[in-house]
Structures are given as C-alpha cells and as structure tokens.
Structure 1
Amino acid sequence: MTIALEIISPERLLLARPVSMVVIPGTDGDLGILPEHAKLITSLRGGLIDLYEDDEIIDRFFVTGGFAEVTEDRCTVLADQIVKLSELDAQVAAEQLVRAEEAYRIVDEADVVAWRRASDELITAQARVDAATLNESR
C-alpha cells in the first residue's frame, strides 16, 4: 500500500510519486505519514524529508519551511525552498549558520516579529548544517 506524494516548490512541481511512507519536519516535530493517515495541515520547519519504499529511505530532501497537507491517500508538501540532500554544501551551510547566529544575537527581542524571524532562520540554518554533515558522512 502506498501514499501519493507531491512536493511543490515555488518554481515547479518537484516530485510526484507513490511512496510507502514519507517523514516530514513538522513545526512541532517529525511526522511519519503512511497510507490512511488522519487528515491534517501542518507548517514545516527546516529539516529533512525522507521518502521510503518499504523500510528503506530512497530519497532525501532538505526543506527550509512551508506547509504540508495530508489526506488518507495523499501528502502534498508546499516547500518554501527545497534541495536534494546530496546537493547541500557544508561550507555554504556553515556560513549561513554564522550569519543567522549574528542576526539572532543582535535582534531586538522587543520586536516580536523580527525576533521570530531571526529565531526561525537560526533553527533552519542549524538544521541545514546538520543535514549537510549527515550528507558528507555518507
């Protein structure tokens, strides 16, 4: 039994295929989506999307954020930005983390919108470094 997966970036439909399971980085934690999953809509944080066939990961993507809609037979990911894990550059990720840490350090905490944006960018930058490190160790 499979679930139809669609991953859509702002530029195009990136992927449309059936998978046994997909794991997405929900804002409140990772979600494993299987066929007949309960309906839900969730925002995404920066992290990995893992595609499974049976018990094996067949593809991995890094997403910076977005939304996912899940029904009993479909998972649609609307990604802010997304790249294949194999395309992440550890050096670029490290540089982005340094910039995000600096932005977070100097943000005015009284400006809730700016603080939230800086916090989200820091979380995503750290997740990108973690994913790039994972990619290099393979």
Structure 2
Amino acid sequence: MARTFSVEVLTPERVLFSSDQVVSLTVPAWEGSLGIMAFHAPLVAALRTGVITIKLANGDEERIATTGGFMEVADNRAVILCDIAELDHEIDVERARRALQRALDRLRNFQDPTIDRERARRAKERAMARLKAAGAI
C-alpha cells in the first residue's frame, strides 16, 4: 500500500480539491518545480503561475491550473492557497487558445507603445498553464 498524505487546494470561492489519498504532489514554486510526498519535511513555498499535479493512490491524476499562491506542508498535510485555480476538466480549451493567441499577438507588436508588455506576458503564462492542465499542449 502506498504511503499517502492529505492535500487541500483552496481558492477564495471554494475548496477546489481535497483528499487524504494523495501519493505525490508537484507544484510550480518560485524557485522551480517542487515535489512533495508523504511525511515531507515542513515547509512554506510561494507558487507561481503553472500547473499543480496531484497523483492519487488509486492511480488517478488531477491537474490544476493556478496563477500562483502559497503552499504549507506540515504534519503529513499540504494546504495550497490560490488566488485563482481551475481543475483540468473545468477549463474551456478554446477560450484558453484564444487568450494565448491574443497575448502572443500583443507580444509580437513591438511598434505599439500602448501595449502593456508585462500584462501580455502574464496573460500568456496563464493561458499556457490552462492549456497544459487541460492536456491541450
């Protein structure tokens, strides 16, 4: 039997994910991808835009697109607080593709001084995370 731990993913609106049958967790931390397994040492980490991957004891895998947040690991439990997060099956893939294309178009337009390049870069990151979580890229 696999060693498991509990994971909760929370947004201001809802409990997005909760299970005590998690085998492994991978999160997009600011320093790079961070993997967590049962009985991990306590830690707190800031998260960036990306995909949270949760592997369950029954073999299922959940992917969650996030725009960042924080994670705390202690007492064989991980709690992830996200500003915005979406489960893979909730993502509108076509909408994410359109958002990615708009962001890329804005980033390619070097002549227009009215374009906020940082905002376009963040929009591209969000769209890419959503598409990766949904398995579309």
TM-score by length of 1: 0.75
The 3 A distance-change label for structure 1 pair 32 and 123 is same
1:56 maps to 59
In 2, the alpha carbon distance for the partners of 1:80 and 1:126 equals 17
Q: Which residues of structure 1 form unaligned runs of 5+?
A: 109-114
Percent sequence identity is 34
| Correspondence 1:129 to 2:131 | yes
1:13 Cα deviation from its structure 2 partner: 2.0
**In structure 2, which of residues 67, 72, 76 is the aligned counterpart of residue 69 of structure 1?**
72
- Using the TM superposition, give the Cα deviation of residue 107 of structure 1 relative to its aligned residue in structure 2, in angstroms: 2.6
Closer, same or farther in 2 for the Cα pair 1:55/1:46, shift >3 Å?
farther
Cα distance in 1 between the residues matched to 2:38 and 2:12:
26
CA RMSD of aligned residues (A): 2.5
Cα deviation, 1:82-103, whole Å, max 9, x if unaligned, reads 1111121221111222333327
Q: Show structure 1 runs of 4+ deviating over 4 A.
A: none
Superposition pairs of residues 9-88 of structure 1, within 5 angstroms: 9-18=11-20, 19-54=22-57, 56-88=59-91
Structure whose residues are more often helix by fraction: 1
Q: Return the offset for 1:131.
A: 3.1
Q: Which amino acid aligns with 2:92?
A: D
Flag the 1:93–1:13 CA change in 2: closer, same or farther, 3 A. same
Give the TM-score normalised by structure 2: 0.75
1:100 is the counterpart of 2:103: yes
What is the CA–CA distance in structure 2 between the aligned matches of 1:121 and 1:38, rounded to whole Å?
A: 34
The letter of the residue matching 1:25 is P
Cα 1:43/1:94, change in 2 over 3 Å: same
